[in-house]
Amino acid sequence: MAQLSDDCFAFGGPMMAVDEAVAIIASRLRAVAETETVGLTEADGRILAVDVAAPLPLPPFMNSAVDGYAVPAGDLPRDRERPFPIGGRVQAGAAAPALRPGHAVRIFTGAPMPAGTDTVFMQEDVRIDDTGRVVLPPGLKAGANVRPAGEDIPQGHVALKAGRRLRPQDVAVAAAFGLTMLDVVRRLRVGVFSTGDELTSPGAERAEAQLFDSNRFMLMAMLRRLGCEVGDLGILRDEKSALARALKVAAARHDLILTTGGVSTGEEDHVRTAVESVGSLVLWRMAIKPGRPVAMGIIDGTPLIGLPGNPVASFVTFVHVVRPAVLALSGATPAPLLPMPVRAAFGYKKKLGRREYVRASLREAADGTLEAVKFAREGAGLLSSLVDTDGLIELGESIVRVEPGDQVGFLGYAELL
């Protein structure tokens, strides 16, 4: 189980900047140690546990990059075209014929180069004369249109490093090496629950003053996209002792506990006090909007992150707090989010010293520039603002105002997970 020392987040100050919190998470959390071996078809999205060095060069043999005719560099025509008898034919997957002196070999893309040849003329650059010989023009450089062995990846090169979150192209590299299995970090076990007497689960009976719980399902989906094994702990009611017991049990079974709701300062927000009764609370406010009430704590060595109850605040703080925590606990190489520069098609004011995220859609302006259009309404409880937009505009702590035409940073939802 991933462990966290009791002083992991021990520092002063009533509020913490986002980057400071993320840096502490990334540097102090200890990754899970257990690994497992999976087949290539199951490797996408997993965290590689061991470096993968090339067991053979890619490509493994010198081959033709085009359809054409192969010759030795010493036979290249210099000043005028020259006819060559065609001494054989080789296609992809076939063994190359022996080269006959003074001959050219008909060759196809991907076929192995016959021994002694190192240059290929493209078939559209040559002609066949009346005697059936291929006429090669002058001017081609030695080594043209050939893929040397190891041109892509040399043998022994570490092509995939431990900590990489595997993508389809990474799986392709492993397959090109002839590998069938990869060692990966076991999936992180994350327990998720919502808090609040005002919530009921979809499919259950809803009282007039209740809402169907949406945050829990959003967060579980986001965790699964990060490759986690998710435990649905349901809805815990606003009662401190019951919360404390549930947290204690969850800490023994998971690498991370994720909660939503109950972390503010209201009389019925009991997550903070429940954490303090069975562990230690080390952070509960961040300089971020939406999402200021974010709790971070430790229960029996297991980290807990408590997110706000408003869905947009929960989404934003997941991206910027939970995501780096999951990557750190999984042993993944840090993957900072890099906003794409776009032009603002809106005006906005914000407070100095606080990072804010504005929901926006992209459109192409008349001059071809991408513009960000702010969602028409405010409010951290508007799920429609996440559904009907393309991503988030990130406004750093030093920004106090955005004017139409300013360059701003855009984070697309597709890149966030």
40: left (phi over 0), alpha (psi -120 to 50) or beta: alpha
**Which are the contacts of 251, defined by CB distance < 8 A and separation ≥ 6?**
257, 278, 279, 299, 300, 301, 302, 304
Closest CA to 118 of 69, 182, 45: 69
Q: What is the DSSP string of 104-135?
A: EEEE-TTPBPPTT--EEEEGGG-EE-TTSPEE
Map out the domains of the chain as residue ranges.
18-34+187-329, 40-44+48-57+154-184, 63-147, 340-416
- The one-letter amino acid code at 317 reads T
The answer regarding whether domain 63-147 maps to CATH 2.170.190.11 reads: yes
**Which are the contacts of 307, defined by CB distance < 8 A and separation ≥ 6?**
215, 219, 258, 259, 260, 261, 263, 291, 294, 313, 314, 317, 318, 321, 322
pLDDT of residue 325: 92
pLDDT of residue 10: 39
Handedness of CA 264, 268, 271, 276 (dihedral sign): positive
Residues present in the chain in total: 417
Looking at the structure, give the CATH architecture of the domain made up of residues 40-44+48-57+154-184.
Alpha-Beta Complex (3.90)
For the full predicted model, state whether its pTM sits above 0.75: yes
pLDDT of residue 75: 96
CATH number for the domain running over 340-416: 2.40.340.10
pLDDT of residue 147: 98
- The whole-angstrom separation of Cα 65 and Cα 145 is 5
pLDDT of residue 269: 56
What is the bridge-based pairing of β-strands 35-39 and 68-71? unpaired
Q: Which helix or strand (DSSP H or E) is residue 225 part of? A: helix 215-225
- Tell me the pLDDT of the chain (417 aa) as tens digits: 555 544 333 334 457 888 887 777 767 788 999 999 999 999 999 999 999 999 999 999 999 999 999 999 999 999 999 999 999 999 999 999 999 999 999 999 999 999 999 999 999 999 999 999 999 999 999 999 999 999 999 999 999 999 999 999 999 999 999 999 999 999 999 999 998 888 989 999 999 889 999 999 999 999 999 999 999 999 988 788 888 889 999 999 999 999 988 655 544 456 777 888 898 877 767 889 998 788 888 899 899 998 988 999 999 999 999 999 999 999 998 888 999 999 999 999 999 999 999 999 999 999 999 999 999 998 888 999 999 999 999 999 999 999 999 999 999 999 888
Collapsing DSSP to helix, strand or coil, 283 comes out as strand
Looking at the structure, give the CATH architecture of the domain made up of residues 18-34+187-329.
3-Layer(aba) Sandwich (3.40)
Q: Which residues pair with 229 in a beta bridge?
A: 189
